Amino acid sequence: MMNLDKSKKYWNPYFGGVMLGLVLLAAIYTAGRGLGASGAVKSVLVTGMEAVAPSHVESTPFYKEYFASHSGNPMKSWLVFEMLGLVVGGFVSGAMSGRLKFKVEHSPKITSRKRIIFAVLGGIFFGLGSQLGRGCTSGAALSGMAVLSLGGFITMIFIFGTAFALAYFARKLWI
């Protein structure tokens, strides 16, 4: 059983869920779109690629299509500002609750290095999956469910179903 430090207060998960729902509702009301993270990451990567290898960007159909569908600078996308707000908000939240530390949390059964390797691999698989699924969990599942899209509900079922099915095999990374 994991020993949590009781001096560090965490939000009630139900309160956090309600707050996430209210943020999603506010995004749909003000921006006309739901939440999502993969679009912001794509904007940053495409802009970075254009700065580093402009000739490659001009000769690649993916980049041409991306720039044709996004008028102006991709870094001015509202999703980029959403992600900046997420990073700043997480930093402020961690600072206010006394949890702002540079450390790697992991099970005593594995090393910090192994935890970082699996976290990076998980992030890579998640990024690839978000591109294959045309959006991350925020965009595809939460925002899809908020507008009662059948695809949003199916996406959420598969996200949690896959996580449940694979948790047995990855449990030693956390327990």
* pLDDT for the residue 1: 44
pTM value surpassing 0.75: no
Name the residue with tokens 């495409």: 46
* Alpha-carbon distances, residue 63 vs 38, 47, 68 (angstroms): 16, 10, 8
The mean pLDDT of 5-33, rounded to a whole number, is: 80
Name the DSSP class of 33.
Answer: S
Q: What is the DSSP-derived secondary structure letter of residue 8?
A: S
Of 174 and 46, the one with more pLDDT: 46
Q: Would the pLDDT of 56 be above 70?
A: yes
> What is the average pLDDT across 10-33?
85
- How far, in Å, CA of 152 to CA of 140, rounded? 6
If pLDDT is split at 50, 70 and 90, which confidence band does 5 have?
low
CA distances from 40 to 36, 99, 138, 147 (A): 8, 26, 12, 21
- Band (4; pLDDT cuts 50, 70, 90): low
The tens digit of pLDDT for each residue in 138-169 reads 777 888 888 888 988 888 898 889 888 988 88
Tell me what the mean pLDDT of segment 109-138 comes to: 83
Average pLDDT of the residues of the chain:
82
Per cent of the chain over pLDDT 70 is 93
How many CB atoms are located within 10 Å of the residue 23 CB?
14
Using alpha carbons, list the distances in angstroms from residue 8 to 14, 71, 140: 18, 45, 32
pLDDT, position 8: 60
pLDDT of 7 above 60: no
Residue type, 102: F
Percent of the chain with pLDDT over 90: 5
